[in-house]
Amino acid sequence: MLPMGSLADAAAELAATFRGQLLQPADAGYEAARRVHNGLVDKRPALIARCLGVADVAAAIDLTRRLGLELAVRGGGHNVAGRAMVDGGVVADLSLMKGIRVDVQRGTAWAQGGVTWGELDRETQLHGLAVTGGVVSSTGIAGLTLGGGIGWLMGKHGLALDNLLSVELVTAEGQVLQASRQQEPELFWALRGGGGNFGVATGFEYALHPVGPAITGGLVVHPISCARTLLEFFRDSTRQLPDEHMLFATLAHAPDGSGMPVAALVTCHCGPLEEAEKAVLPLRQFAPPLLDAVGPMPYTQLNGMLDAGYPKGALNYWKSNFLTELSDAAIATMIDCFARCPTPMGQLLLEHFHGAVTRVDVSDTAFPHRSEGYNFLVLGQWTQPADTGACIAWTRETYARMRPFFAAGRYVNYLDDDEADDPVAAAYGPNYRRLQQIKGRYDPANFFRMNQNIRPQP
Ligand SMILES: Cc1cc2nc3c(=O)[nH]c(=O)nc-3n(C[C@H](O)[C@H](O)[C@H](O)COP(=O)(O)OP(=O)(O)OC[C@H]3O[C@@H](n4cnc5c(N)ncnc54)[C@H](O)[C@@H]3O)c2cc1C
């Protein structure tokens, strides 16, 4: 255990040059700064370094190494496993680093590591441009992009990480590197899926695409009694979707707060409005819905539409896996499991992959999941601590019952960290060995280990 004096001395020395804020447990602002999206995460870092620039990040890394402490890195703070915080260690908190620059001529955006999707979309949409981003606006661009980046534009434009042009990274040695296809190409490969394993990403450069400003999207909600018909309709519809059209399905609870269980389709069509209108027509015609909220809307509105369903501070426990196919048996099991859901904020979600995201070779980026199909997510979410046991048990039971339908591979950004097997190795499949070698080159001592950790290999 480190004597607190040495941390206080080191922090005081750092404060002379640090531009951001250095927060220790007794400081005002510490309590708010240690809270992340998931209210279950209750860690108490020894120091939270709220960085304002690349030099602050390098200084936080240096201090952590000198004191022999553990470092966690916080972008948007949405990681459900709570890897953005660490007990007794140092947090490099980038959430004050909000710089964004859109280059309309080149069709690119550069953004700092503390930016959220809502913030980036706002700046890019000013010019009618966008890049694939998360479906909840408060999610950080950093963690989401480094792990993958599932979003409404991925059928047309691939994952968030497929649109990365370069990353600015501070390594464990405090070196500032630019990684792109031309510079540090192996590192750039690893950063596109390998998460926070290689350093602290301070800047991201994305390719942008013309999007909207109005696209077509929204929710179609049906009674839970229609769940089987809706999931079968979803399965049939996803066999022939154009790249522009994304479709997710969910068993959830009514968005009006009544707690009524429902079956719903969530959709986005980013093509011309007349084409989109025709494409979404079957979604509202296959059975009379309780609510039809699909229509033209600003892209920024679509990316904030689900925010209220995932409030900051709610308690979360998630498990997910890709499915080989959506068989009748998988549908029946989902319906049966959802009927036992103990929380009106819990849901089962199917995210369909097709189009551009599946036209990338498995070995082109560290992110390996390039087959057409479904990511299945058990999203345990609740507010009362007394419900924690029941909600975690339901999430685990549902996941276990769905296991017979699972394909190989899991999405690293949805991983929890309480599994006996090595879920990280399973998540990267054929790309894991190469990731281990790159980790061995850039972080051989595994300094960056508060993440979905890749074990370094020579
Ligand atoms: C409500 C909600 C909605 C979500 N929606 C989506 C979605 O639509 N699509 C999707 O793909 N995923 C989604 N996710 C999952 C999301 O991708 C992950 O939770 C991701 O880790 C969030 O990134 P963050 O920066 O907000 O997280 P943080 O918790 O800040 O960071 C997570 C981890 O990423 C790494 N990291 C973060 N910032 C940096 C950095 N600057 N440099 C190096 N490493 C860093 C660290 O290892 C850190 O522990 C969602 C999660 C939530 C809670």
Q: Is the pLDDT of residue 357 over 60?
A: yes
pLDDT at residue number 420: 61
Asked whether the beta carbons of 290 and 225 are under 8 A apart, the reply is: no
pLDDT at residue number 1: 46
Closest CA to 304 of 435, 176, 117: 117
Residue whose CA is at the smallest distance from ligand 1 atom 1: 310
Average pLDDT (236-243) is: 96
114/99 Cα distance (integer angstroms):
8
User: Which ranges of 286-429 would DSSP assign to H, the alpha helix?
Assistant: 299-302, 328-338, 388-402, 423-428
Testing ligand 1's pocket by substitution, the residue of 37, 38, 139, 191 carrying the most ligand atoms inside 8 A of its CB is: 139
**Selecting from 3.40.462.20, 3.40.1280.10, 3.40.50.1370, 3.30.470.20, what CATH number does the domain 214-414 have?**
3.40.462.20
Q: Which residues contact 354 (CB under 8 A, 6 or more apart)?
A: 155, 238, 241, 243, 372
**Strand residues in 341-457 grouped as ranges (E):** 347-353, 373-382
Q: Which two tokens stand for residue 65?
A: 């190494």
Backbone angles phi, psi at 50, to 5 degrees: -85, 95
Q: Is the CB of 133 under 6 A from ligand 1?
A: no
303/169 Cα distance (integer angstroms):
27
- 406 CA → ligand 1 middle, Å: 23
Name the one residue in this structure whose structure tokens are 């009514």: 254
Average pLDDT (208-228) is: 96
Residues 119-154 have pLDDT tens digits of: 999 999 999 999 999 999 999 999 999 999 999 999
Q: Which two tokens stand for residue 124?
A: 């890019």
Would you tell me how many other CB atoms lie within 10 Å of the CB of residue 200?
A: 25
- 251 CA → ligand 1 middle, Å: 23
- 146 CA → ligand 1 middle, Å: 8
**Cα–Cα–Cα angle for 449, 453, 456, rounded to 5 degrees:** 85
Residues 6-55 have pLDDT tens digits of: 898 999 999 999 999 999 999 999 999 999 999 999 999 999 999 999 99
pLDDT at residue number 422: 78
Residues 386-437 have pLDDT tens digits of: 999 999 999 999 999 999 999 988 999 998 766 666 788 889 999 999 999 9
Q: Which atom of ligand 1 is nearest to the CA of 196?
A: 44
Residues 264-304 have pLDDT tens digits of: 999 999 999 999 999 999 998 888 899 999 999 999 999 99
436/366 Cα distance (integer angstroms):
11
- 226 CA → ligand 1 middle, Å: 33
pLDDT at residue number 286: 82
Q: Which atom of ligand 1 is nearest to the CA of 411?
A: 11
Alpha-carbon torsion (14, 17, 18, 20), positive or negative: positive
Kindly state the percentage of the chain with pLDDT values over 90.
92
Q: Which atom of ligand 1 is nearest to the CA of 310?
A: 1
Q: Which overall architecture, per CATH, does domain 100-211+433-442 show?
A: 2-Layer Sandwich (3.30)
Name the one residue in this structure whose structure tokens are 């980790």: 439
Q: 302-332 burial by CB neighbour count: b if 16+ within 10 A, else e?
A: bbbbeeebbeeebbbbbbbbbbeebeeebbe
Testing ligand 1's pocket by substitution, the residue of 78, 154, 170, 378 carrying the most ligand atoms inside 8 A of its CB is: 78
Average pLDDT, the chain: 95
Q: For residue 38, count CB atoms less than 10 angstroms from its CB and return exposed for 0-12, middle for 13-18, buried for 19 or more.
A: buried
pLDDT at residue number 324: 82
Average pLDDT (72-79) is: 97
Largest CA distance in the chain: 68
CATH 3.40.1440.10 fits 4-93, yes or no: no
Residue whose CA is at the smallest distance from ligand 1 atom 19: 79
205/400 Cα distance (integer angstroms):
39
CATH fold match for the domains 4-93 and 100-211+433-442: no
Residue whose CA is at the smallest distance from ligand 1 atom 13: 134
Q: Which residues contact 101 (CB under 8 A, 6 or more apart)?
A: 109, 110, 111
Q: Which atom of ligand 1 is nearest to the CA of 141?
A: 25
183/82 Cα distance (integer angstroms):
32
Residues 196-210 have pLDDT tens digits of: 999 999 999 999 999
Q: How confident is the model at residue 3 (pLDDT cuts 50, 70, 90)?
A: low
Which residues are bridge partners to 109 per DSSP?
102, 206
Domain boundaries, the chain: 4-93, 100-211+433-442, 214-414
**Virtual torsion, Cα 434, 436, 442, 446, nearest 10 deg:** 170
Testing ligand 1's pocket by substitution, the residue of 144, 306, 317 carrying the most ligand atoms inside 8 A of its CB is: 144
360/371 Cα distance (integer angstroms):
9
pLDDT at residue number 233: 97
Would you tell me how many other CB atoms lie within 10 Å of the CB of residue 237?
A: 19
Would you tell me how many other CB atoms lie within 10 Å of the CB of residue 263?
A: 29
